[in-house]
Amino acid sequence: MLKAIILIGGPLKGTRFRPLSLDLPKPLFPVAGFPIIQHHIEACQKVEGLKEILLIGFYQPSDAFKTFLSRAQQEFHISIRYLQEYTSLGTAGGLYHFRDVIQSGNPECFFVMNADVCSDFPLTEMVDFHRQRSHACCTMMGTEASREQALNYGCLVENTDTHEVLHYVEKPGTFVSSIINCGVYLFSPEVFKHIATVFARHQEDLPSDDSFALGSKDSIRLEQDIFPMLTGDSKLYVYKTQNFWSQIKSAGSAIYANRLYLALYHKTHPDRLAAHGEGMPSIKGDVYIHPSANVDSTAVLGPNVTVGANVTIGPGTRIRESIILDGASIQDHSCILHSIVGWNSTVGAWTRVEGTPSDPNPNIPFAKLDSGELFSEDGRLNPSITILGRNVTIPAEVIVLNSIVLPHKDLPHSYKNQIIL
Ligand SMILES: *[C@@H]1O[C@H](CO)[C@@H](O)[C@H](O)[C@H]1NC(C)=O
Ligand SMILES: *[C@@H]1O[C@H](CO)[C@@H](O)[C@H](O)[C@H]1NC(C)=O
Ligand SMILES: *[C@@H]1O[C@H](CO)[C@@H](O)[C@H](O)[C@H]1NC(C)=O
Ligand SMILES: *[C@@H]1O[C@H](CO)[C@@H](O)[C@H](O)[C@H]1NC(C)=O
């Protein structure tokens, strides 16, 4: 039997995803029409013998979460549970805290996946790879990055014959290797022995009366505390994927992940891609349109566009490389490029909403880092995609360029390179 754990983090971790994370926990933000973690769950469902999915994080279980969980249980016929940490325990600390739940039923091994990963998740391949290495405690998914980009990730050196990881450094100061950790792992239960060792050491090292460090004694990170300890001992291996991979850190990277998941639908869910047809809007490239959306037949959508539930799109509109969230209304002849239009927002007629794309692809040298930093070092707003929060109203005949608009704003005129509070 196999299990999967999705590490969803908590509200503090979603700050770079503002203003969209003000309204919805980031793991539930829809990319290519479905919540970010639904893409993980769909990949898990395809793995033979995978019986249970556990979400670990420190979000309060909101209504949105409960609705998502019960809907997903029904749709995927798999047990999905949320285990809430009392505080941020780190990527390994949360696993350790819930070790009994994870180990109940004696799983042969279990996946651990970071929620902010966008990938086609070659999980079955990882299981085969892991089983071929009887001593393996962990198989880590890795990918090749450019030399410049690698420094921003966990870097590892492998034995090219056996794929054993000989050396691991998280975000090294100088070049170590161009193979990076993708944040998707397959662990044997043996890993709990290693986490227990670190846990015991932390309990001794840190004074117990330090209220400032509340929870920090229990905080253990896979990347810093566990992986370096497993190297060079036939325990840690890397499964290298050649396929797409990126992280969804900021809202800008959601646009990028949106196009990757839409492209994946050609293989996994061709039925989700909008088709051409008589009396239908003109579709260019990959587009997802929710069945309840009302799109005028003279609109031109794509490539790489997602249209949510109950969205209205008027005649003569042009939408490219964008996500239009549920209930939004795009009025006649307006144009939306590289933008996210928030839930129930309205874009007036003949208006242009445009952003500048950011590309978090680690394979592209000097790709914009998409660190999510809003301001450059000299205090200027970094060019970004344009984001309209929930319930924003943009009037007719204006231009909103490279701007971020917080929820419930009624804009009086055009804006460029601004955060509208
Ligand atoms: C749409 O996404 C694909 C990748 O899925 C990419 O190759 C293409 O360049 C994107 N289109 C535009 C106009 O950027
Ligand atoms: C769309 O609108 C219908 C009717 O107003 C409503 O029943 C449904 O829940 C809405 N769907 C979503 C996903 O908001
Ligand atoms: C959008 O507005 C409708 C009613 O106008 C409301 O029922 C719905 O909850 C809103 N959706 C979001 C996501 O804010
Ligand atoms: C939407 O925003 C307007 C201000 O532009 C506000 O008056 C209204 O109450 C908001 N509606 C909701 C449902 O939050």
Partners of 295 in beta bridges:
313
Q: Is there a single domain that holds both residue 83 and residue 194? A: yes
Q: pLDDT at position 3, please?
A: 98
Q: Report whether residue 329 contacts ligand 3, using a CB cutoff of 6 Å.
A: no
Q: pLDDT at position 148, please?
A: 85
Query: Does residue 264 fall inside a structural domain?
Result: no
Q: pLDDT at position 372, please?
A: 55
Rounded to whole angstroms, the Cα distance separating 113 from 8 reads 9
Q: Is there a single domain that holds both residue 225 and residue 306? A: no
Give, rounded to a whole angstrom, the gap between the first and last alpha carbons of the chain.
50
Q: Report whether residue 310 contacts ligand 2, using a CB cutoff of 6 Å.
A: yes
Q: Is there a single domain that holds both residue 237 and residue 305? A: no
Q: Is there a single domain that holds both residue 225 and residue 287? A: no
Rounded to whole angstroms, the Cα distance separating 331 from 393 reads 11
Q: pLDDT at position 281, please?
A: 94
Ligand 2 center to 310 CA (angstroms): 6
Closest CA to 13 of 288, 274, 250: 250
Rounded to whole angstroms, the Cα distance separating 372 from 364 reads 18
Ligand 1 center to 14 CA (angstroms): 26
Q: pLDDT at position 83, please?
A: 96
Residue 290 belongs to a domain with what CATH number? Answer: 2.160.10.10
**Pick from 113-117, 201-205, 279-283, 387-391: least confident:** 201-205
| CA angle, 145 then 185 then 373, to 5° | 50
**Pick from 123-137, 268-282, 336-350, 374-388: least confident:** 374-388
Single-letter amino acid, residue 6: I
Rounded to whole angstroms, the Cα distance separating 296 from 290 reads 14
pLDDT per residue over 233-252, tens digit each? 999 999 999 999 999 988 88
Q: pLDDT at position 408, please?
A: 95
Mean pLDDT, range 278-295, rounded to an integer = 94
Ligand 3 center to 266 CA (angstroms): 31
Q: Is there a single domain that holds both residue 88 and residue 226? A: yes
Structure-token pair, residue 251: 């809202």
How many domains would you assign to the chain? 2
Q: Report whether residue 344 contacts ligand 3, using a CB cutoff of 6 Å.
A: yes
Length of the chain: 421
Q: Which residues are CB-neighbours of 185 under 8 A, at least 6 positions away?
A: 111, 112, 113, 138, 139, 140, 141, 222
Mean pLDDT, range 361-380, rounded to an integer = 62
DSSP string, 20-37: GGGTS-GGGSEETTEEHH
Q: pLDDT at position 123, please?
A: 98
Q: How does residue 365 score in pLDDT terms, banded at 50, 70 and 90? A: low
User: In this structure, what are the phi and psi dihedrals at residue 172, rounded to the nearest 5 degrees?
Assistant: -65, 155
Q: Is there a single domain that holds both residue 155 and residue 233? A: yes
Q: pLDDT at position 18, please?
A: 80
Q: Is there a single domain that holds both residue 341 and residue 236? A: no
Q: pLDDT at position 366, please?
A: 59
pLDDT per residue over 109-134, tens digit each? 999 999 999 999 999 999 999 999 98
Looking at the CA of 327, name the nearest ligand. 3
Q: How does residue 419 score in pLDDT terms, banded at 50, 70 and 90? A: confident
Q: pLDDT at position 110, please?
A: 98
Specify the pTM.
Answer: 0.93
Rounded to whole angstroms, the Cα distance separating 317 from 71 reads 33
Residue 48 has pLDDT above 60, yes or no: yes
Q: How does residue 88 score in pLDDT terms, banded at 50, 70 and 90? A: confident
Q: Is there a single domain that holds both residue 200 and residue 93? A: yes
Structure-token pair, residue 88: 């941020």
